[in-house]
Amino acid sequence: MKKPVEKLLKEEAKEELAVLSKEISEHDVRYYQKNAPSISDAEYDLLRKRNDEIEGRFPEHVRKNSPSRQVGAAPSAGFTKVRHSVPMLSLGNAFDETDVKDFFERIKRFLNLDQNEQIEVVAEPKIDGLSIALRYEKGKFVTGATRGDGIEGENVTANLGTMREIPPEIKGSAPTVLEIRGEVYLSRGAFENINKMRKIHGEPEFANPRNAAAGSLRQLDSTITAKRPLQLFTYAWGEVSEDFGLTHSDRLLQMKKWGFPVNPLSGTCNNSVEAITYHQKILNNRHNLDYDIDGIVYKVNRLDWQQRLGFVSRAPRWAIAHKFPAEKATTVLNKITIQVGRTGALTPVANLTPVTVGGVVVSRATLHNADEIKRKDIREGDTVIIQRAGDVIPQVIEVLTEKRVPTAKIFLFPKNCPECNSQVVRAENEAVHRCTGGLLCPAQKLERLKHFVSRNAFDIEGLGGKHLEGFLNHNIIKNPADIFNIRTYTKFLRSREGWGDKSVDNLLASIEERRKISLERFIFALGIRQVGQANSKQLAFHYHSADIWLQTMQKAARERGSNRGEQKSTEFVGEAFDTLCNIEGVGISIADDIVLFFSEQENVRFIKDLLDSIMVEDAAPKVEGSSTLSEKVIVFTGSLKKMSRAEAKAVAETLGAKVTGSVSQNTDYVVVGTDAGSKAKKAIELGITVLSEQEWLVLSKE
């Protein structure tokens, strides 16, 4: 057994890297030149992985002839993964002044601040690059990772190590563990140069600087990265072993002193009016910058306030991205086609004459639904204005009717699914048309599989849409559970055109790696309508294990089955269904979609099959350590002085309590502020423990 990488001493690491480098290059020769490998691909990948991990910890010992630096090195299975000790989150968006004002107001309300109290924020340009985390231990750069899904990223230490702007060592004294976060980007000038060279060499050009930066950073061969002039702005931190400033701006200053690049345009604003002025100023100057930005980020400056504000789902309450207005362009809409989604929704798509919008070539745009086409009177052959904002799919915003040609054709929404010919229906109160084919529809089947293997679900690398389509056509995969039995087809896979032994082995290995999954990802992967990541998380917390989840959902489906059609949300349907409705973020509409999914026997069957071949980890209870409040049911009533009710609720929930709106036998505590009314009275009648705000504060800090 080899010593774990984290236990290796400096000298041992150096020695092992020398041995690994020799070993790997010998295997390369056997594999590539003699066609006679002496070890399996999996074993070979392990050697490379170990090499990368050691290099990640000891970048100072990366050898000049290291396998990770070889030009034309064998494609390894990819980068190793790094789990972020503090998740890398995303940001909520503000699109106009009202959204920005709301952001400031929300904060005031949450912190229960006086109306005329100023909330100072730091405003920074939002860099259109890719976010990375740089980990320093005892002042030395040890690991660099991409954001990935926010929980786990890719280890790109060797590549980041080639960047001039990343200090290999911190200037002056710094916390023992320090993780600095920021955005890697390419200047517009560098992007143009790279594309010029690619054109000369007959290589496909990058669509925009962001893609070019991502392509440059995610190179398995770091000598390629080294040739690309990647740049960096740092603006946040992850794990830190000691505090280094009480405000965001203090910390930026300190980061600058340590040698990290901080955007010189960052500034502070005291209120929403100043923030909006700052936004306007940068927007007007945007074209003078040599890098792409897509908005301004505002961050509450006081870190104690940031701490109290916390997070909702995957974004902090203390920051927001104020986006720049979308960029627009005029082009011709040649044809409207229909795309069938995972849940059968039919989306009309505009096929356009390609046009560049904000640096990206756009040839398709969404038309949302039939009503939208009608409302905007969009016809095939029309000249249209399209817009593109950030990551969202381009949209058709209006038709230039004065340019309409006589041949322009009104679009008739199909009555049958273009993929499976099943009937198309449109539910009352819904804008969407849906294919009724369910899993009989090949498009729905394929989309469901794509979702199942996607990054935030099972995250199976190397199983793209084209492969899935092929497997479906050959009946190798009929439902998601079959993915985990694909091994039985190894021979067939190896015989397929374009599939080398290595890629088959890599695929099988990445499937194996995912046989163990968290309950939250598992629920998300099922692809139930309206059940996204946030809901999946709540459901996982609540039902705890896959077996309980399956059984209870089937029960809820039976309860609802005998009640369907009665849409009244107040009526009692059954215990399982009602509990489901009451889970935070669920409600009757989502609960109905969930039980609809479970009332289809085919779905239940494939989940059972799936559970036979994988391991779903139970969800950890929603507590930070064990707390006296875990599992307790709390009601807040009246107004609190030290914090808003929203903050009190957030605190209670992170301690594992459940906060409800009405007092019942199930309530454990009622926290009473000033001017509390009937709820306090009811609590006393029912003999429930009543707490004052002060008592609640003591309890929540225990």
Which residue's Cβ lies closest to ligand IVH?
131
Binding residues for ligand IVH, total number by CB under 6 A: 14
Rounded to whole angstroms, how far apart are CA atoms 543 and 547? 9
- Residue 316 near ligand IVH by CB under 6 A: yes
Rounded to whole angstroms, how far apart are CA atoms 170 and 156? 19
Interface stretch with ligand IVH, choices 126-134, 442-450, 479-487, 601-609 (CB under 6 A) = 126-134
* Nearest distance in Å: CB 233, ligand IVH: 7
From the centroid of its chain, how far is CA 201? 35
x/- site string to ligand IVH, residues 182 to 201, per CB under 6 A? Answer: -x------------------
- Residue 278 near ligand IVH by CB under 6 A: no
Q: What is the DSSP string of 511-566?
A: HHHTSEEEHHHHHHHT--TT--HHHHHHHHHHH-SHHHHHHHHHHHHHHHHTTTT-
Which of 5, 18, 42, 89 is the binder for ligand IVH (CB under 6 A)?
89
Of residues 191 and 291, the one with the C-beta less far from ligand IVH: 291
Q: Which residues of 74-100 are buried (b: 16+ CB within 10 A; e: fewer)?
A: bebbbbbebebeeebbebebbeeeeeb
Position 546: which residue type? A
Q: Which residues pair with 328 in a beta bridge?
A: 387
Of residues 129 and 673, the one with the C-beta less far from ligand IVH: 129
197 neighbors 227 (Cβ within 8 angstroms): no
- Residue 321 near ligand IVH by CB under 6 A: yes
CA end-to-end span of the chain, whole Å?
44
- Residue 154 near ligand IVH by CB under 6 A: no
Position 667: which residue type? T
Rounded to whole angstroms, how far apart are CA atoms 82 and 89? 15
Per CB under 6 A, which of residues 279..298 are in contact with ligand IVH?
A: 297
Interface stretch with ligand IVH, choices 119-127, 326-334, 604-612, 675-683 (CB under 6 A) = 119-127
Q: Any idea which residues carry the catalytic annotation?
A: 126
Rounded to whole angstroms, how far apart are CA atoms 266 and 127? 12
- Residue 179 near ligand IVH by CB under 6 A: no
Interface stretch with ligand IVH, choices 85-93, 97-105, 158-166, 591-599 (CB under 6 A) = 85-93
Q: Which residues of 117-150 are buried (b: 16+ CB within 10 A; e: fewer)?
A: eebbbbbbbbbbbbbbbbbbeebebbbbbbbbbe
Q: Within 10 Å of residue 627's Cβ, how many Cβ atoms?
A: 17
Of residues 180 and 546, the one with the C-beta less far from ligand IVH: 180
* Nearest distance in Å: CB 293, ligand IVH: 8
- Residue 213 near ligand IVH by CB under 6 A: no
**In the structure encoding, which two tokens stand for residue 554, read together?**
């089937």
- Residue 126 near ligand IVH by CB under 6 A: yes
Q: What share of the chain is helix, strand, coil (3-state, %, to 5)?
A: 40, 20, 35
- Residue 275 near ligand IVH by CB under 6 A: no
- Residue 236 near ligand IVH by CB under 6 A: yes
Which of 90, 241, 421, 423 is the binder for ligand IVH (CB under 6 A)?
90
Of residues 84 and 368, the one with the C-beta less far from ligand IVH: 84
Given the rule CB under 6 A, which residues bind ligand IVH?
A: 89-91, 124, 126-127, 131, 183, 235-236, 297, 316, 319, 321
